[in-house]
Chain A
Amino acid sequence: MTAARSARKGTLVAVISTLVVATLLAISIGSSPSWPLVQKAFFDGTYFSTSLPDVIGAFAINIQLFVLAEILILPIGLLIALARSITSPALAPLRIFATIYTDFFRGVPSILLIYVLGFGVPALRLPGVPSEPFFWALVTLVLIYSAYVSEVYRAGIESIHPSQERAARALGLTRFQALRFVVLPQALRRVVPPLLNDFIGLQKDTALVSILGVVEAFKQAQILKSANFNFTPLMVTAVIFLVITIPMTRLVDRLAAKDRAAQQGGTR
């Protein structure tokens, strides 16, 4: 059997088995006596189309939030990761600070931090400190996700074999130059998939800032839900989030595969 034929046969088997499983699922859910009620409460076509424009409009806030956060997180996370990799005894305070930072912000539940920073800090009425919920939502997400992302960076940096740094130093590159030209370029390539993974988490977590009263997609859906006594707007939100995150995941996979091919595959 040729490789092409065997691949075609594989695809066929996959399609058939997926169809069988999907049909069984549909039958078992649809046969539940309360399914029509659930369907009306969660998957109502009319409510879906009427709430779609409002939820999409509010989703612009989520996009602003995660795009700004990601732009800030990328350099901050890297700086924290570098601070944690410092070996010089004189700079130990920096390393200790970075360690405490990551321990703390990875350990505290996001929702708690959003409450404390979003309601607590503005309540202090410090002069010059903004009180807009959007601002504090952004700060909280940046603080939390910089901690996660710094760990991703650090794992990437540590995955580069020490012989690479040694070879760079042997050529007369300084420590910083070895990091900048040899270690980081390799480490960053490796961390793209886990990094984007964290960003998908961040994008979902933008819904948490609804508790501060920011009318983003989830909050908007809740408002519509309460107005109509129907959960369908929440499903709309779910669909919008999936529309954003799934292509992103696929993009990451492709980038990673392309990069592997380029490095293993020869000339440029």
Chain B
Amino acid sequence: MARAAAKRVAAPVLELRGVSKRYGRALVLNKIDLSLAEHEVVCLIGASGSGKSTLLRCADLLEPIDAGSITLSGRAVHADDRDADTTRRQLGIVFQGFSLFPHLTALENVALAPRVALGLTAAAAEKRARALLKQLGLAAKANAYPDSLSGGQQQRVAIARALATEPKVLLLDEITSALDPVLVADVLEALRALAKSGATMLIATHEMAFAADVADRICYLEGGEIIEQGSPEKIFKTPRDPRTRAFLKRVRSVGASALR
């Protein structure tokens, strides 16, 4: 925990203030305040429909917000900005359903954004992509098409792809919930290694043991609000809010998978 305490001094990389989001009449995010310091790993937990995915998409500027502000490295950013594309390169997101590009090999999937969005030469982009695939244990799969990879391998390619623009923050949206239990371990292991190497991550997850292990801070979401946040120890052992307690009790009795 000394590590987490040291981090809190640093200025936030990503900061959400009073962020609200509506879909039609439904309020899916309600005045979210959340900030991530450099190297910090924050896990969002909560039942499906609690707003975790929407929060990540808004943070990635994929969805415009209805109220509040998002700041990236001290600069206010918005999905409707003229330079929102440039901003998105500083944020990496991995989706639950992988969304790899099926017409490109694993290597081409990872190299696309460096080449096209960052303007690297083809050789430099490929070099970066190879290094990332190696880092995620996929060096041998560089020339494979997504369809021939297992779910866990596909998801690791997606992580490599998200890292390829060297984002300041990596956003992960329940990236293990579409995977076989056997394959989940691979992906979580890759994330642990990333956390150790100092990546700043905001992770929506149903894997409580993983969250407890990897996170510096846990946020419990319900009804589009952050009900409670704190260190894993605090949230999992001594949650204050009765709603957090009820959620954790349900998770422990039925297992995380039942909440999806």
Contact = CB atoms under 8 A, between A and B. Distances in A.
Interface string B186-227: 000000000000000000000000000000000000000000
A175 to B, nearest CB: 8
B147 A177 contact: no
Interface of B: 60, 62, 85-93, 95, 97, 99-103, 105, 112-113, 116-118, 143-145, 147-148, 161-162, 164-165
Interface in A250-268: 262-268
Q: Classify the secondary structure of A's interface with B.
A: helix
Contacts of A263: 102-103, 145, 147
Nearest to B117: A172
Contact of B145 (A164, A173, A266): A266
Given A181-B112, A265-B148, A266-B148, A172 B102 contact: no
Contacts of A91: none
Interface residues of A, number: 24
B99 A171 contact: no
Interface string A159-197: 000011011111111100100011001100100000000
Contacts of A267: 105, 143-145, 148
Contacts of B90: 172
B103 A185 contact: yes
B55 to A, nearest CB: 15
A189 B104 CA distance: 13
B161 to A, nearest CB: 7
A177 B105 CA distance: 18
B233 to A, nearest CB: 33
A227 to B, nearest CB: 55
Nearest to A177: B116
Contacts of B100: 167
Given A263-B147, A266-B144, A173 B103 contact: no
A94 to B, nearest CB: 21
Contacts of A174: 85, 117
A189 B86 CA distance: 30
A34 B258 CA distance: 77
A226 B103 CA distance: 55
Nearest to B149: A266
A231 B103 CA distance: 51
Given A163-B95, A171-B165, A172-B89, A181 B102 contact: no
Contacts of A163: 95, 97, 99
A207 B116 CA distance: 46
Given A170-B88, A171-B161, A172-B113, A164 B99 contact: yes
Given A166-B99, A171-B89, A186-B103, 9 more contacts: A166-B95, A170-B92, A171-B112, A172-B87, A173-B117, A186-B101, A263-B102, A267-B145, A267-B148
A189 B147 contact: no
B99 A172 contact: no
Contacts of B165: 171-172
A177 B116 CA distance: 7
B101 A268 contact: no
Contacts of A164: 99, 101
Contacts of A172: 85-90, 113, 117-118, 165
A86 B93 CA distance: 26
A5 to B, nearest CB: 31
A215 to B, nearest CB: 45
A167 B158 CA distance: 10
A200 B194 CA distance: 54
Given A163-B99, A166-B62, A167-B101, A173 B147 contact: no
Given A163-B97, A169-B62, A262-B145, A189 B89 contact: no
A170 B63 CA distance: 11
B145 A169 contact: no
Contacts of A186: 101-103
